[in-house]
Structure 1
């Protein structure tokens, strides 16, 4: 993939992000949710995206006919996708992600049409099928639910001895997943010192809560769980780095 090709793709993505988040007033979103297809803001928003795409393709040196066709495609698809989203609950993360994925799929298709080749897809497929990518994907998958379940089972002998910590439902498991995600990333980047800063920051945040509880069992339980989680992730990260394709 050449630099101009990548620059055009990034330009299309930047145009989408600008149009969807920087240049869209909140009143346009509210109007679309209330009035659906009769909302004037829906078509203004879609037209703005079309103009941004026209600008990007023009700067990229596209033929006028292709640039106009691409702008029309993006504007039309954006209006239809946003109209569909207007009939769904805007507070649900799944619909937000689906909306963005559909928009990005249209932009990717336009970019491939602009290139006139499916070569980037073949390159992406080869990268996804490489041992390095599969190893990293497996490692990040392991530090989510599989390791959370393993740690919960390992901590089960002591969990009944700990009183209700009064935290949000499943918050601890999600915090642990994010913590392991960060630790694994730092290990793979050979930033082991930063792991210590991460543990220190978590300890500072938890110290006040644990001191207020004055529950030694709870303190030991949290400390044991944290060390078990971090140790397992460190070992996994070092194991991945020791492989021929993980260094």
Structure 2
């Protein structure tokens, strides 16, 4: 793929982000949610996306026929996807992510049609099947649920001795996953000093709460879990970096 070809895809995505988040008033969202297919805002929003796609494809030098068809596909599909979303619970993250994924798939289809080739998809699939990418994907997957379960099992002998920690339900597990994501990323980037700062920052944040509770067992339990999480992720990151294809 050449840089101009990739620039067109990025331009379409940028136009989508501007249309969905920068140029869309909140009242349009509310109107679409309340009035569904009779909402004027639904069609104004779809038309805006069509206009933005027109600007990108016109700059790319698309022919008139290709331009018209692509813009209609973008506008009509956007209206249909948003209409479907209007019938779902807007507070659920899954529907927001699905909505954005469908829009991006449409833009990808428009871009591939504009290129007249599936070669970009073949190149991406080939790249994703390489050892470095598969190793990174495996490492990031490991620090999510698999490592959370392993740490929970390792901590089980002491969990019964700890009183109610007084935290949000499942918040600790999610914090741990995000924490391990950060640690793994920093290790892979060779920023081990930053890992130390992250550990220190978490310790400072937790110190006040634990001191107020005056529960030594809880303090030791949290400290043990934190060190176990950091150590396992640090070891995993160093193992990934030591692979022959890590560079």
Q: Per the alignment, in what secondary structure is the counterpart of residue 153 of structure 2? A: helix
Q: Which runs of 5+ in 2 are unaligned?
A: none
Partner of 2:33: 33
Alignment of 1:12-31 (within 5 A): 12-31=12-31
Partner of 2:118: 118
Partner of 1:99: 99
1:12-46, CA deviations, whole angstroms, 9 ceiling, x for partnerless residues?
A: 00000000000000000000011000000000000
Distance 2:153 2:83 in 1: 46
Partner of 2:150: 150
2:174 corresponds to 1:168: no
What TM-score do you get using the length of structure 1 for normalisation? Answer: 0.99
2:54 corresponds to 1:54: yes
Partner of 2:239: 239
Partner of 1:227: 227
Q: Which runs of 5+ in 1 are unaligned?
A: none
The answer to whether the Cα contact below 8 Å between 1:136 and 1:246 also exists between their aligned partners in 2 is: no
Distance 2:20 2:64 in 1: 25
1:111-152, CA deviations, whole angstroms, 9 ceiling, x for partnerless residues?
A: 001111110000010011111111111111110111111101
1:179-215, CA deviations, whole angstroms, 9 ceiling, x for partnerless residues?
A: 0111001101111111011111111111111111011
Query: What is the Cα deviation at residue 64 of structure 1?
Result: 2.0
The answer to whether the Cα contact below 8 Å between 1:183 and 1:230 also exists between their aligned partners in 2 is: yes
Query: How many corresponding residue pairs?
Result: 247
Distance 1:193 1:59 in 2: 45
Query: What is the Cα deviation at residue 246 of structure 1?
Result: 2.4
1:160-196, CA deviations, whole angstroms, 9 ceiling, x for partnerless residues?
A: 1111010000111111111011100110111111101
Q: Per the alignment, in what secondary structure is the counterpart of residue 244 of structure 1? A: coil
Distance 2:204 2:68 in 1: 56
Q: What do you get for the CA RMSD once the two structures are aligned?
A: 0.7
Partner of 1:190: 190
What TM-score do you get using the length of structure 2 for normalisation? Answer: 0.99
Distance 1:24 1:204 in 2: 41
Partner of 1:136: 136
